[in-house]
Structure 1
Amino acid sequence: MNNEKQSQPLKGKVAIVTGVSRENGIGTSTCYRLAQAGADLFFTHYCPYDETDGEGIEEHWPAQLAAQLNEIGVRAAHMEADLRDEDLPKKLLEKAVEEIGVPSILVHNATFSVNTNCKDLTSELLDHHYEINNKGPVLLTQAFANLFEKTFQTEKEGSIVFLVSGGPDPNNLAYIATKGALKAITPPLATGLAPIGINVNAVDPGPTDTGWMDQETKEGLLPLFPKGRLGKADDAAKLIRFLVSPDASWVTGQVIHSDGGFLGR
């Protein structure tokens, strides 16, 4: 077997990764892993969320990341994307095709999360979670699948991965509810898209130290990880790399916990 094909199983493929705004996030680690496997990258980010509700703004990071991916030896481009925009799927895919090429890999990493419990949950907050965590990804999935089917009529090796979540945290109600919906939609989407060659899977990475944890949170979570450490962004990225590779061509419709055996599910 060709050694380059073994070391770069995604060479010649184009991957879209959403929600790549921060250096230490899962989106960034995923871009690195896919680039090392040979994929060209088109990624999105949304600074207004990071500035107000997210983990802090890193406005220059997308350009820095694109340059680093170029140094790895792949092509990379990016755009700001608000998943609440109903025209986004069309605009995003047109931009990806123009800049890099037709994508065959889609990783749904972008998310919206604001602490909510049964007492302070509002209709507006629930709608906001739904628009970004459910409606936006599903409509982008539809547009991606339509483009894939039209373009790749013989080569049928596409892949979609959702980042999902769960657990009993009473202060994360809207986030867990909407991420749970992505878990539920994964098997029927996989069944529907299998005939055109697209695998659909979901990854639940558990609590991951991407910068949002303070020391108290880390100390509280650590005893719930039987492997003795907190989750890292690269833990999820390595699994995503596998799921979108030819080695996972027979894996579809699965919701996979990659959380080090986390006891707080």
Structure 2
Amino acid sequence: MITGVSHENGIGAAICHKLASEGVDIFFTHWGANIDWVKQFENSIREYGVGCGNLEIDLADPEAPFNVLETVTTELGLPSILVNNAAHSTTDGYMNLDAKTLDDHYAVNMRATFLLSVEFARRFKQSRINAGRIINLTSGQALGPMPGELAYAATKGAISAFTLSLSAELAPLGITVNAVNPGPTDTGWMNEAIRQSILPKFPLGRIGMPEDAARLVAFLASEEAEWITGQVLNSEGGFLRG
């Protein structure tokens, strides 16, 4: 189950393609996406020979985590992999930060991620599945400041702390919990000026692509990663800050 799959160039879409190519059934959530695109995307995932379902849902709704898991369980069965990819992001800064901005970020970035994770684990405990994976997407807030994005940085940073503590609780169930920081990734939001300004900060000579994050998520979801838990993996291509 992958949240936040609302356009073709996003990290969520890349994760769906990568996991489906490895024979994993896919259920994805979206919000505000073009419905024609959603249908086309679901069909493209089915072409891998796997099951696929989707649900349009606002993860800011407190009941959304429970409704999503009910839907995916009904359509495809209890999931063994949860990828918390959805995120809310707006610019703010100390002059503009207010309660509504904080609450909007909290509802999606923290509450939805946390409640999806624990509800996933509760249902998993009652199942006969041997191994589970929770993979959260974060943004490297611990590596450097993000001026003008105070609410985003604070709420995404909380995911790292949650990942570590939850991993200790869920390890006895056979569930690993990790987070991936993909660094600056060209998912369509960058204009040419931004690309040119940050390209020199990548020693590997290119900007991060959604497929880079998808490969790491797929590894963490695999059997080969069964001994990795409680980690925040900063996979940024050597991105240089400052």
For the criterion TM > 0.5, the same-fold answer is yes
Matches within 5 A, 1:1-265: 16-47=1-32, 57-152=33-128, 155-165=129-139, 166=141, 167-264=144-241
Where 2:177 maps in the other structure, the secondary structure is strand
Q: In 2, are the aligned partners of 1:168 and 1:264 still within 8 Å (CA)? A: no
- CA RMSD, 1 decimal: 1.1
- Supply the AA of the counterpart residue of 1:117: G
CA deviation string 1:113-159 (max 9, x = no partner):
0011111111110111011000111011111101111012xx42100
Q: In 2, are the aligned partners of 1:199 and 1:252 still within 8 Å (CA)? A: yes
User: Post-superposition shift, 1:99?
Assistant: 1.1
CA deviation string 1:7-42 (max 9, x = no partner):
xxxxxxxxx000000001000000001001111011
Aligned equivalents of 1:169 and 1:201: distance in 2? 22
Q: In 2, are the aligned partners of 1:109 and 1:163 still within 8 Å (CA)? A: yes
Aligned equivalents of 2:105 and 2:189: distance in 1? 18
Deviates more, 1:160-169 or 1:32-41: 160-169
| Count of matched residue positions in the alignment of Structure 1 and Structure 2 | 239
CA deviation string 1:202-222 (max 9, x = no partner):
000011000001111111111
Where 1:139 maps in the other structure, the secondary structure is helix
Aligned equivalents of 2:183 and 2:46: distance in 1? 31
CA deviation string 1:25-67 (max 9, x = no partner):
00000000100111101100010xxxxxxxxx53322211110
Aligned equivalents of 1:110 and 1:252: distance in 2? 21
How high is the sequence identity, in percent, across the aligned residues? Answer: 47
Aligned equivalents of 1:58 and 1:222: distance in 2? 31
Where 2:35 maps in the other structure, the secondary structure is coil
Where 1:72 maps in the other structure, the secondary structure is coil
Aligned equivalents of 1:119 and 1:177: distance in 2? 16
User: Post-superposition shift, 1:169?
Assistant: 2.2
- Supply the AA of the counterpart residue of 1:98: T
Aligned equivalents of 1:173 and 1:87: distance in 2? 26
Aligned equivalents of 2:239 and 2:160: distance in 1? 18
